[in-house]
Structure 1
Amino acid sequence: MTGSPPTALVLGGTGRTGSLVARQLPERGLSARTAARHGADVRFDWDDPTTHPAALAGVDRLYLVTPVLRISYADQVVAFLDLAVAAGVRHVTYLSTYGGQLAPPEVDIRAVEDDLAARDTLTHAILRPAWVMQNFSDAHLPVVDGVITVPTGGGTEAFVDAADIAAVAVETLLAPEAHAGAEYAPTGPRALTVAEVADTIAAVSGRPVAHQDIDPEAWIGGAVAAGVVPADYAVMLRWLTGAIVSGDGSTPNGDIEKVTGRPATTFDEFARRNAGAWAAPVPAVK
């Protein structure tokens, strides 16, 4: 790496946060290389190790996004990080999950965090964001026939804009030493019920929107039966929704402003910016 310009490899480079990280880094003077199975600068597939060396060539820092819709992936990530260190990577920013240090043992979130902490040949920063606001404007928690269906037990979550997560990630990648060992939990500025989210979406879209607070097991079972998630991913959904139902959903903090110097985006701001996502009703899946 001697004499090479600093370059960040952005895994999930076409995704919600990765695409934004990759766009912002060059604007701040740091080269970025996107990696994904399709549509990125380089092809990267967790299940195809032959794609890993080329992705890592010439990079010295990494935005780590682990395999999606899986709970078991630690061995793959450890092997990749070993390769990354050998290739010259000296910093990793890991996109974890809010409360990741408390994840169920069946889920490898904590295992990856622990592996990073044990490595003395690179620095790392961990991002544990709240549920992203974009869940409501894409296919994760869509408005279907005027209803958002998700179990919460009336609990709240400090939903966060993916752009704010990316902004925090960018700062850690630009100045790794300043954020070495940091653990940030990006959240929105206010904890909201999904009913309040529905009211805001209704206001910006001009359409009635309500929250259906469904039984958690019925919701999880439906997602598995429909093939939306693999059967073993039910443990992840049970943990994520269970935190909100039990009153342990994310709560607002100042991490975004502390790292970026600007306040976190409110859900009202996000909804106005994305009003077009709810301009027409989404037909129910038959």
Structure 2
Amino acid sequence: MTNWEERRHLVKIANMYYNDNWTQEQIAKKFSVSRPVISKALQKAKQIGIIKVFINDKTFHTVKLEEKLEEKYNLNDVLIVPSSDQSVEMTTHAVAKAGANYLSKNMKEIKSLGISWGETLTALVKEYPFEMRENVKIVPLEGGMGTKKVDIHANQLAYELSNRMGGTCTYLYAPAIVESKELYERLIGMEDIELVLNECKNVDMALIGIGNPYHNSTLETLGYIQNEEKDLMREKGVVGDLGFRFFDESGSPLTDILDKQVIGISLNSLKQINKVVAVVSGVNKVDSLRAALKGKFIDVLITDQKTASMLDKFE
């Protein structure tokens, strides 16, 4: 309990600090005490309710949501982009831009960066500023030879991002998904492909997107999966994919779905990478994203507010 005289003293200090913009040092000099005494007085004024801090900014709620998701899914960092009335295209662009800014600010210790494929990552690369990072190597996390949507393939994104960074890149000269297990075994045994796949496992950071094979699926657009494959996926419990590697609602890899036909990093190897950054846009990916988080494949999440809000509602 505090008496009237002490409360009056605390109020006076609080008023000088918050309303009159005095520094703690100036207040200390006025009362002939040390600065730590003033600091403790302000802290006590908060504890007993004299000082109540209100944050007046529209980003406050997204910051609180970021903190909740960090704790809920044990993430290193979460970045949420406001998306209240934006179109799908505008939201994707905003998330991609936020991803590019985050990447640019967190490249200090990075010497090798793995990149996956997809529309959102393509938008991110286009937003990335031109810099000089000559010591950085960009590595595609999976193959991607083909004639459809070549601009969103991992090889192309590795090339484009290395140009913007002024660094170097490698290429994985193989399809993302091959026709048979026999061809798969032959390709991964080739020296050049084996070398790049080993580089994938040892990158300092991985940049990934998340796919939902049932809703607005780029995999379907590219012809990698048809209705027949989708029916099989439903039977097996597939809820999403990371670089053509499928997983169920608990985040467990489903190795009997095209696994021995995919030329790229495995989910178990992805999990071993020191920092995996997922850039995800769109509420149609909430179930897939939640499963990927439960599987602990992700360390940093960059997404839009609607997707994050839906993610927060899950128990």
The structure in which a higher percent of residues are helix is 2
TM over 0.5: no
Larger Rg computed on CA atoms: 2
The normalised TM-score by structure 2 is 0.29
The normalised TM-score by structure 1 is 0.31
